[in-house]
Structure 1
Amino acid sequence: MADELANWFAERMDEQEVWSGLRPGPAVDEVAARLASTPQPFLADTVDVVALACDVFDHTGCAAAAQRIAERGTPASRRGAAIGLWLFAGTDLVGPLTAPLDERKAAPALLALAFRVAPLVDPGRWLSDSERRDEAVRTFLLWNGLLPRGEDVTQARSLFEMRDSVRREGALAQALADHEHRMAVQRRLADAKAKEAAARYNSE
């Protein structure tokens, strides 16, 4: 079952680091309402996420992420990413959210929907099931670097982990724990290298 998250783990995303750097964002209910309004063309198995990303954004990072989703993802992954693209596009087409989404962090948010949520919960359920919609929105906001309005980090993290399908499945939860351990080791190694480089620089 952990194979379903292989694409996600390959991205080497560090969740602990993301939690430590959130800035205020829109409310979960507000983003959920926007998600529920996703137009039908965004939900087709044949949706071209690369073309869509290029239409919505003009920066290359997002197009590169969309390319990986198109190449490695399932139809569900592509629909998940397309829903994420709608959340960004909706600002121009429907109106702004009370706090803006962070376009600079669009790529990790799209990858999280495509490779972390969609393999476990089909995007069609995000529209029909309020709890799964809440999961998708909270995952999207987290990886977009945003703290839901009206919540502090402790509340947001608790609610995210309650909804997170990865943590609800034994094998997947273990795979996630292993991945997070690897990320923590790499973080410590990077910190040690940075300190060593700083010490060398200061002694010169």
Structure 2
Amino acid sequence: MADADELLKVWASMAPPEGETWSLARPGPALDAVAARLSSVPRSFLDDDVSIRALSGDIAGAECASAAYADDARVRRGAAIGLWLLASEEIVEPFRPTLAGPWALRAVDSLGLRVAPVVDPLDWLADDERREEAARTFLLWAGFVPAGEDPRDRASALAGARLAPAQQRARRGLRRVRAPRRDRAAARRGPGEGGGGEVLQ
């Protein structure tokens, strides 16, 4: 099993700043609808022998980044659940608006590489709060805020003081893996040149 910090480091290297993602987010599907669909993931998607590389290719026509780390059961399950959300639009019914789009695989990877390292995906299926965290995270990185919520209102979603414990742990991990990069940038600027380091949203 990979170290959680290493997986978070992979996510940090590929994800744009969260603040930028918030600023581009548009109204998406209802949170309840996405959370309910997440809870209905077929057992075959959670099978230990499932190939994320093949599943991603079949569903999205491309390989998600999580496929390279799918020997870790948490990553494999997290990515598989994200891929289920995409596949379910054909199997069950489409979300309105659809989840398909340029950031769909990034959303899959947000579950596999950002959330799964700190909260086992099986907990998402058993616990309402964990499931909502996962659904919110998926929507954000797919470019959406849940229907009826204001993207400018950080308190209504993942940011702010009321962050769920899993998200707080993920952010602490991201801060740890981004700190060396921030320190190197400060050293290159030299003393007295100002400019704050990267702020983790």
Which residue does the alignment assign to 1:80? 78
Which residue does the alignment assign to 1:50? 53
Query: Quick one: structure 1 residues 144 and 169, their matched pair in 2 at CA, closer, same or farther if it must change by over 3 Å?
Result: closer
Which residue does the alignment assign to 1:16? 19
- Where structure 2 has 5 or more consecutive residues not aligned to the other structure, the ranges are 187-201
Which residue does the alignment assign to 2:193? none
Quote the Cα distance in structure 2 between the aligned partners of 1:52 and 1:169.
26
Output the amino acid matched with 2:60. F
Which residue does the alignment assign to 2:176? 175
Which residue does the alignment assign to 1:201? none
Output the amino acid matched with 1:167. Q
How many residue pairs match? The answer is 178
The within-5 A match list for 1:112-123 is: 112-123=110-121
Which residue does the alignment assign to 1:195? none
Query: Quick one: structure 1 residues 181 and 131, their matched pair in 2 at CA, closer, same or farther if it must change by over 3 Å?
Result: farther
Q: CA deviation at 1:169?
A: 6.7
**Contact between 1:52 and 1:85, CA under 8 Å: does it hold in 2?**
yes
Which residue of 64, 68, 71 maps to 1:71? 68
TM-score under structure 1 normalisation?
0.76
Output the amino acid matched with 1:55. D
- Where structure 1 has 5 or more consecutive residues not aligned to the other structure, the ranges are 186-204
Q: CA deviation at 1:170?
A: 8.1
Quote the Cα distance in structure 1 between the aligned partners of 2:111 and 2:97.
20
TM-score under structure 2 normalisation?
0.77
Which residue does the alignment assign to 2:94? 96
Query: Quick one: structure 1 residues 170 and 15, their matched pair in 2 at CA, closer, same or farther if it must change by over 3 Å?
Result: closer
Higher-helix-fraction structure: 1
Query: Quick one: structure 1 residues 168 and 72, their matched pair in 2 at CA, closer, same or farther if it must change by over 3 Å?
Result: closer
Q: CA deviation at 1:144?
A: 0.1
Output the amino acid matched with 2:66. I
